[in-house]
Amino acid sequence: MSNVISEILFIFQRLDWLSVLDLLLVTAIFFFLLNLVRGTQAALLLRGMILLIILIALLTTLLPLPAFSWLLRTSLPALLVAIPVIFAPEIRRALERLGRAGSVLNLGQEGSQIERTISAICSASQRLADHHHGALIVIERETPLQEYIETGVRLEAVLTPELLLQIFYVNTPLHDGAAILRGDRIVAASCVLPLSSGGTLSPSPERQMGLRHRAALGISEVSDAVSIVVSEETGTISVTHNGRMIRRLDLSRLRNILTAFYRPSAARRIPAWLERLLAAAGRSRGLGPRP
């Protein structure tokens, strides 16, 4: 134990600003990777692997175990090959999230068309929720959903609240499955979506949801689509994106969320955090409007 303490003190004595910067960069990378796999099966597996690595490191450092150390050295190459195989779905999902970072629903529509599309979705969702009619509406973004469109019935119809109400009316041929939107058109209805694979190893609200909610989470995990779910049992409205769900939305919050997703990229030329920082700097110098 005294050797370990002396080693730790020796490390702290050698710290300089470059070492601190190095540690901060490594910490930021680990934080970013952990944030990407948060809420997936990989998070639990990764937690167990970290605990196992810490335990092994303590054993090999505090106790003279030559045979055990040899076993670790010989099995390390196999572990380096096995880790990507085990975490292949999560790694692919994390890279997809990274590539979709900051994307918006830039669908080439005019402002008036976007307003009509949002109004149609919000009006239909509210009326479906009032009557406790279950619904699943998926908005296609940059990731093509053609493989899921082919599982349903092609419509290629102009989006209207009345058409959505008719699709999800109880016991109609198209009310099961999802309606997929592309721009201001309903491309297909009664589409089959993948179910969510997240949260299956630990108790979570997602496990208590119905198939519509699990399908909405599933399509958000494999694509950048935005989904609106209306619960048949409770009449509540939810929105899913990027493997996350916002539940119990009223009409105003639903409209605000969809407006934020539909905002064209040209409307925001600089990042939001930079815009807020510049606005705060302007106010502090008396250059901008004060609240």
- How do the pLDDT tens digits run along the chain, 291 residues long? 566 677 667 666 777 778 778 888 888 887 877 776 665 556 666 666 777 777 777 777 777 777 777 777 777 777 767 766 766 666 666 666 666 555 545 444 556 788 889 999 999 999 999 999 999 999 998 778 888 999 999 999 999 999 999 999 988 889 889 999 998 899 999 999 988 866 443 444 444 568 889 999 999 888 888 999 999 888 899 999 888 889 889 999 999 999 888 764 434 444 555 555 555 555 554 444 444
Output phi, psi for 278, to 5 deg: -65, -40
Q: Quote the pLDDT of residue 55.
A: 77
Can you list the domains of the chain with their CATH numbers?
2-99 (no CATH), 111-264 (3.40.1700.10)
Distances (CA, A) of 209 to 61, 94, 182, 204, 216: 47, 24, 26, 10, 11
What angle is formed at CA 157 by the lines to CA 151 and CA 163, rounded to 5 degrees? 95
Structure tokens, 139: 């908005």
Q: Quote the pLDDT of residue 269.
A: 44
> Distance between CA 245 and CA 199 in Å, rounded?
13
Q: Quote the pLDDT of residue 198.
A: 60
User: Are the beta carbons of 232 and 132 closer than 8 angstroms?
Assistant: yes
Tally Cβ neighbours within 10 Å of residue 14.
7
Q: Quote the pLDDT of residue 17.
A: 78
Q: Quote the pLDDT of residue 265.
A: 41
Q: Count CA atoms within 13 Å of residue 182 on its CB side.
A: 14
Nearest alpha-carbon partner for 168 in 135, 137, 191: 135
Sequence length of the chain is: 291
Distances (CA, A) of 44 to 25, 50, 68, 245: 24, 10, 26, 20
User: Are the beta carbons of 249 and 239 closer than 8 angstroms?
Assistant: yes
DSSP 8-state code for residue 176: S
Q: Quote the pLDDT of residue 201.
A: 37
User: Are the beta carbons of 245 and 214 closer than 8 angstroms?
Assistant: no
